[in-house]
Amino acid sequence: MSTAEGSDVAARLRDDLARAVEQRDQLEAEYQQCLEDPDVLQEDRDSVRTLLEGARGAVEHAERALQRVESGEYGTCSVCGKPIGAARLEALPEATTCVNCTP
C-alpha cells in the first residue's frame, strides 16, 4: 500500500472510529438511563444493551484496523501474507485475512 493510500485508509478508519465512539457513548448514556428508570421494560433494557455491545465491538474493530494501518500490516493477510482484496477491505475494513484464508 502506498503512502497516499495508507493516509486515505487511515483517515477513513479514523472517521469510522469517531462515529463508532460517538454511537457507543450515546448508547452507554441511553443504557444508563434505562437502568435508572424503573418503568423501562427489561426487554427494552436488553435491546439497548445488545446495541451497546455491538457498538463496543465496532470501536474495537476500528481501533485494531487503525493499529494495522499504523504498523504497516493493513491490507496484508495475517495467515498467508498476500494482499487482502480492495473490495473485501471496503466491505470489511477490519478484515485481517484474505478470502482464501477466511474460515
Reported as a pLDDT band with limits 50, 70 and 90, residue 10 is confident
Amino acid identity for residue 36 in this structure? E
Count each helix (H run) and each strand (E run) in the chain, helices first. Answer: 3, 0
Reported as a pLDDT band with limits 50, 70 and 90, residue 82 is very high
What is the arithmetic mean of pLDDT over 10-19?
Answer: 92
What are the sequence ranges of the domains in the chain? 3-74
Distance CA 15, CA 7 (A): 12
Q: What is the DSSP letter of 84?
A: P
What pLDDT shows up at residue 67? 93
Reported as a pLDDT band with limits 50, 70 and 90, residue 8 is confident
C-alpha cell at 83: 494482499
Q: How many CB atoms within 10 Å of residue 98?
A: 19
Reported as a pLDDT band with limits 50, 70 and 90, residue 5 is low
State pTM to two decimals: 0.79
